[in-house]
Amino acid sequence: MSTPSAPVHTTMNQFSTDGNELLVGGLPLSRLAERVGQTPFYAYDRDLLHSRVAELRAAFPESVKLHFAMKANPMPAVVGFMGRLVDGVDVASAGELKIALDAGVDPHEISFAGPGKRDSELRQAVAAGVLINVESFREVDLLAGISREFGLPARVAVRVNPDFELKGSGMKMGGGPKQFGVDAEQVPELLAKIGEYNLAFEGFHLFAGSQNLKAESICEAQQKSYDLALALSRHAPSPVSFLNLGGGFGIPYFPGEKRLDLTSIGQNLDQLSRRANIDFPGASLVIELGRYLVGEAGIYVSRVVDRKVSRGQTFLIVDGGLNHHLSASGNFGQVIRKNHPVAIGNRMNEDSTEIASVVGPLCTPLDILADRMTLAIAEPNDLVVVFQSGAYGASASPQRFLGHPEVVEILV
What is the footprint of ligand PLP within residues 229-258 (CB under 6 A)?
247-248
- Cis before residue 398, ω within 30 degrees of 0? no
CA–CA gap between residue 227 and residue 397 (Å, rounded): 38
The interface region with ligand PLP, picked from 42-50, 217-225, 287-295, 326-334 by CB under 6 A, is: 287-295
Least distance (Å) from ligand PLP to the CB of residue 375?
Answer: 28
Backbone CA torsion sign across 217, 221, 224, 226: negative
Candidate segments 21-29, 283-291, 325-333, 373-381, binder of ligand PLP by CB under 6 A: 283-291
Of 23, 51, 111, the closest CA to residue 292 belongs to: 51
Give the helix, strand, coil percentages of the chain, each rounded to 5.
30, 25, 40
Interface with ligand PLP includes 161 (CB under 6 A)?
A: no
- Residues between 126 and 155 that touch ligand PLP (CB under 6 A): none
CB hemisphere CA count around 176 (13 angstroms): 6
DSSP character at residue 138: H
Total residues found in the chain within this entry: 412
- Residue 290 touching ligand PLP (CB under 6 A): yes
Among 6, 56, 66, 72, binds ligand PLP (CB under 6 A): 72
Q: Which CB, 179 or 263, lies closer to ligand PLP?
A: 179
Strand ranges in 152-297 using DSSP code E only, listed in sequence order: 155-161, 169-172, 182-183, 200-206, 209-212, 242-244, 284-289
* Residue 324: Cβ-neighbour burial (10 angstroms; 0-12, 13-18, 19+): buried
Residues 177-216 that bind ligand PLP (CB under 6 A): 207, 210-211
Q: Residues 382-411: x/- map of binding to ligand PLP (CB under 6 A)?
A: ---------x--------------------
Kindly tell me which residue out of 9, 71, 117, 325 binds ligand PLP, with binding defined by CB under 6 A. Answer: 71
Nearest distance from residue 289's CB to ligand PLP, in Å?
5
291 versus 324: smaller Cβ distance to ligand PLP: 291
| Residue nearer to ligand PLP on the CB measure, 75 or 384 | 75
Q: Which of 289, 326, 328, 376 binds ligand PLP (CB under 6 A)?
A: 289
> Cβ 31 to ligand PLP, closest distance in Å?
31
CB closer to ligand PLP, 159 vs 372 = 159
**Residues facing 315 on adjacent strands:** 308, 357
- Residue 325 neighbours by CB under 8 Å, 6+ apart: 300, 369, 386, 389, 393, 397
Of 22 and 113, nearer to ligand PLP (C-beta) is 113
CA 348, CA 209: separation in Å to the nearest integer?
Answer: 35
Nearer to ligand PLP, 281 or 333 (CB): 333
Question: Which of 29-37, 68-76, 341-349, 399-407 is the region at the interface with ligand PLP (rule: CB under 6 A)?
Answer: 68-76
- Ramachandran category for residue 153: left, alpha or beta (phi over 0 → left; psi -120 to 50 → alpha): beta
Distance CA 168, CA 361 (A): 35
Report the interface residues with ligand PLP, using CB under 6 A: 69, 71-72, 90, 113, 207, 210-211, 247-248, 288-292, 391
